[in-house]
Amino acid sequence: MPRALLLVVEGAHPGPGRGIVISPRFVPGPGMPRTLTVGLELPDGVERTALAELQFAHVRGPLPPYALLRLPELRPEDVPPGTRVWTTD
């Protein structure tokens, strides 16, 4: 599976549990695992990888559910707005 852009970060917030939840929400592709490694491309060009977890909190009837992306090992200041989040596989 080629690298694909998941989202561009609008905000990073402490959530319940470890780490942060980033916005915006998104619709994950079919078969996307609930736990994955993502690539982060910060606005200043620095790149890194991070563990990510999908959280499904938005049910939309027959439409695919929205997901939030949790980064359990990071803090809000680690993921500034404008950071691009990519799949790594």
Percentage of the chain exceeding pLDDT 90: 61
| Structure confidence at residue 3 as a pLDDT band (50, 70, 90) | confident
Closest listed residue to residue 43, CA positions, set 84, 7, 88, 87: 84
Cα–chain-centroid distance for residue 1? Answer: 18
- Across the range 20-43, mean pLDDT stands at 92
Closest listed residue to residue 69, CA positions, set 10, 37, 23, 3: 23
pLDDT over threshold 90, residue 72: yes
Which of 18-27, 28-37, 53-62, 77-86 comes out lowest in average pLDDT? 53-62
Q: Distance between CA atoms of 79 and 20, rounded to whole angstroms?
A: 9
- Across the range 36-49, mean pLDDT stands at 96
